[in-house]
């Protein structure tokens, strides 16, 4: 095989590999986004490297954020239709954590999605009055 043929084969291989890596990047991004929107069940385990023991486990529909400035992990979990709990867990030289995706999640490498939160588009309206008044005005 000539030098030009080897270079061409190498270029084709590099392009093919970068395509696979891009698909993996897209799938990884989609999984993270789904988890941040409370669509993937996770298990977060805190581990003490000195005592060689688990310190804490959190399971559920949880979003995880590492805060390097405060050396803590922020875990927000959806506990009901509109209820949430947030935990702040300090990290140190001997305490580490891992996040496990408990179940499978179907995400596509070609899927594109825009998620609008109605709370950020529609202002919070404070209604004052009684329900009967609202219904009377509606029937006119």
Distance CA 118, CA 84 (A): 18
What does the pLDDT read at residue 123?
Answer: 64
Going from the first residue of the chain to its last (140 residues), give the mean pLDDT of each consecutive group of 10, the final group possibly shorter: 50 48 80 90 91 90 92 94 93 90 81 61 65 63
Dihedral of alpha carbons 4, 9, 12, 17, sign: negative
What does the pLDDT read at residue 135?
Answer: 67
- In the three-class reduction of DSSP (H, G, I as helix; E, B as strand; rest coil), residue 119 is classed as helix
What does the pLDDT read at residue 8?
Answer: 47
Q: Where are the domains of the chain?
A: 1-37+105-133, 41-104
- CA-to-CA separations, 139 to 10, 60, 78, 95, 130, in angstroms, rounded: 73, 44, 38, 62, 15
What does the pLDDT read at residue 2?
Answer: 53
Rg for the chain, CA atoms, rounded: 24
| 8 Å CB contact between 136 and 83 | no
Distance CA 50, CA 59 (A): 24
What does the pLDDT read at residue 11?
Answer: 47
Alpha helix ranges (H) inside 37-117 = none
What does the pLDDT read at residue 27?
Answer: 83
Pairing of strands 84-90, 95-101: unpaired
């Amino acid at each position: 095989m000539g030098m030009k043929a080897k270079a061409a084969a190498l270029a084709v291989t590099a392009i093919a590999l970068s395509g696979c890596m891009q698909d993996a990047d897209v799938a990884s991004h989609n999984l993270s986004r789904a988890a941040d929107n409370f669509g993937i069940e996770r298990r977060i385990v805190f581990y003490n490297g000195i005592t060689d023991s688990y310190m804490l486990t959190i399971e559920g529909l949880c979003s995880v954020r590492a805060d390097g400035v405060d050396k803590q992990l922020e875990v927000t979990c959806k506990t009901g239709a509109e209820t949430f709990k947030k935990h702040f867990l300090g990290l140190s030289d001997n305490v580490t954590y891992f996040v496990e995706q408990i179940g499978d999640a179907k995400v596509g490498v070609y899927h594109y999605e825009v998620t609008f939160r109605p709370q950020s588009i529609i202002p919070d309206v404070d209604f004052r009055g009684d329900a009967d008044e609202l219904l009377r005005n509606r029937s006119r």
